[in-house]
Chain A
Amino acid sequence: MPNMSMQKTPMPAQAPEVRNKNFDEVTLGYTPEMAVLEAQRCLQCKHRPCMKGCPVAVRIPEFIAKVAQGDFLAAYEIITSTNALPAVCGRVCPQENQCERECVRGIKGESVAIGRLERFVADYFMEYGTAASKRAEPNGIKVAVIGAGPAGLSCAGDLARRGFEVTVYEAIHKAGGVLVYGIPEFRLPKAIVEREIDSLRALGVKIETDMVIGRALSLDELGEMGYKAVFVGSGAGLPRFMGIEGEGLLGVYSANEFLTRINLMKAYKDEYDTPIIRSKSVAVIGGGNVAMDAARCAMRLGAERVYIVYRRGEEEIPARLEEIHHAKEEGIEFRLLTAPTRLLGDDQGWVRGMECVKMRLGEPDASGRRSPVEIPGSQYEMEVDSVIMAIGTSPNPLIRTTTEGLQADRRGCLIVNEEMATTKPGVYAGGDAVTGAATVILAMGAGKKAAESIANLLLPSPGSEENPA
């Protein structure tokens, strides 16, 4: 009785012309009927190709089988045995490059909507399930985690489940990392992130916000305070600028600042004090998820025209497919194969335009990507009153530069071995701090792996292999 439809069961969403004026979630999720229908598209392949595409090896066919049977809570148990944040991953994983890319249904037609099903199951559980937050028997060993992003949180959760006394130190006033300051509400409602964090607290994880490690406390002081191991999950939050003329003009934002004002500091809500510039015509430079988020936020703040300016072509855009579709539907204009060369200001110091040059794709470089080359003489001006730089971030140097013995590579990424151990004994690291800007699921996978290594290091009898969620 498989459902042989070539297309994914569509997921309801707010109409584009409605949603591009509010910050409510864009997609509304499957109903139970839709979920069952979609689950029936899964062929239950014996060799489970989809699982190989998932960085945390979610047992995909198994959970989908339960969804098809209507046993959604059992599906939840299966997912959470390897993925602690399914409501988040179902929404933000780049599925088309991971699980869904390997799905056999994708050979002719669309793959099974694994991400949507995962999200459905997690949302269903939040509504109808009861968390069995069985606190582990404490083992009395203290471990510190730096950074409350996906890497740090998943490490903390796994350690707490093994009985460790875990304290997470977070620099800003709210836990969640990029999930709270970067990814907008309309893509990942903050209530979901908060619920996931509350469930960690219920496991016994302590979260200390307002603590900038490297300033308030050094890594060595954490050792003196009795922490037997430290996990560094400080992310890659340092924004890059292009170094072109005019970046100091008014109306030029880094995507991080723009998104932080909106998502963390709620500038779009009247009752919050956070100021933000609402521009008419906004250019967002870059083609990743960050750029799509910034562009769609700018539109929601009331801009008349919003451009994505990206120096490569459509094929190369690194953002999730769904975000690109949604952005286009919402009226974001794509200026591909285009790069800014200069920002132009008016006599008050505000941006009034941007000089761009057209690009073409040259020969593939060492990484196999075709790199963009300027087309001589193709300069032209765009009229914009705001420019948002979303051209990438790198690991923040604060911890590395205040800790002796912690080595990083040339890009500032912390060096770790297969165990996620850094060059400093007892200090582990993972997530964007190690890889540079990557994905939520990779960060979570790294945190998980580090938790296992820390347990192996600190627990006397490594023989017993009890490793739940």
Chain B
Amino acid sequence: MYKIVEKRALNEAVTLMSVHAPHIARKVLPGQFIILRLDEYGERIPLTVAAYDRKAGEVTIVFQAVGRTTKMLAALDVGDDILDFVGPLGRPTELEGVHKAIVIGGGVGCAIAYPQARFLHEQGATVKVVAGFRSRDIVILEEEMKAACDELLIATDDGSYGRHGFVTDLLRELLEADSGYDLVIAIGPVPMMKAVCALTKEYAVKTTVSLNPIMIDGTGMCGGCRVHVGGELKFACVDGPDFDGHLVDFDELQRRNAIYRAQEQVDANHICRLAGEIDA
């Protein structure tokens, strides 16, 4: 059992939670994730570690309530327990020797990208952060991101905040203006990562993406998280989750991530009924 020690709504769908898990807090590094299971009937879902406090033994996750399990998680409160909380899983992001980087976050992906930006910035690298959101009311972690880079650029799909447009519009401008970037990190929805990689390939800038295939065990046992990278079969939970974005088969990933959509929709409606919410 792992106790929730902090909970904060970042926007109406995104929640930050800290969990007491000393064995993970001791060891975790940026880019690694945990897998949790809420109760005996629950599924196992992966969430990236957004921050950690080694002394207090706490691990912070930031998640978007998109379906049954994340909605149930969001309904828990400080003092409640999570049945299983496993980690740290995956390989840490390789951030050594980077001098000048662009870190791109899309939506809740900002929560995963932010610790990487901070880590690079603290190491003395020049860091630009490009954050994309649908609209102004769902912007998250603006102050934190600002403090973790040299320049924060925000784009919104509807133009209600920052630049009207997509992260790729801002990215292209940055790459046009300066050819000195040695790394782009892109974390967000699959179509965003795909578009970023198509662009950085034109400019021949190395690009790391953090992949989010469906997982169960997180130890290399089920093969469910398999992705093709440069034609090779990789298991994202142990070989990743970070990969060279120019080699990833994003279309396959996108398809495979939608495989349970119909069942997930039934489940999600069911939880709303359970919680007594009016949600047809």
A interface with B by C-beta (< 8 Å): 171-173, 181, 209-212, 215-217, 237-239, 241, 243, 247-248, 250, 253-254, 256-257, 260-261, 265-266, 271-275, 277, 349, 396-398
Contact = CB atoms under 8 A, between A and B. Distances in A.
**Chain A contact surface mostly:** loop
A181 B41 CA distance: 15
B262 to A, nearest CB: 9
A284 B219 CA distance: 24
B257 to A, nearest CB: 10
B221 A275 contact: no
Contacts of B256: 248, 250
Interface stretch (B3-11, B108-116, B182-190, B222-230): B222-230
Contact of A173 (B84, B220, B221, B264): B84
B222 A273 contact: no
A277 B69 CA distance: 19
Interface in B54-99: 68-69, 83-89
A173 B219 contact: no
Contacts of A181: 221
Which of B221, B238, B255, B260 lies at the interface centre, i.e. has the most chain A CB atoms within 10 A of its CB? B221
B69 A210 contact: no
Interface residues of B, number: 40
A257 B213 CA distance: 14
A247 B233 contact: yes
Given A171-B217, A238-B220, A241-B233, A216 B24 contact: yes
Nearest to B41: A272
A211 B2 CA distance: 13
Given A273-B42, A275-B263, A277-B259, A171 B86 contact: yes
B172 interface: no
Q: Which 5 A-B pairs have the closest CB atoms?
A: A254-B223, A257-B222, A275-B260, A237-B221, A275-B263
Contacts of A247: 233
Nearest to B254: A349
Interface string B220-251: 11111010100001000010000000000100
A247 B224 CA distance: 11
B170 interface: no
B249 A172 contact: no
B259 A250 contact: yes
Nearest to A240: B223
B217 A260 contact: yes
Contact of B223 (A215, A216, A239, A277): A239
18 contacts: A171-B217, A172-B86, A173-B84, A211-B86, A215-B27, A215-B88, A217-B27, A241-B233, A248-B249, A248-B256, A254-B222, A256-B223, A273-B43, A273-B68, A273-B267, A396-B221, A396-B238, A397-B220
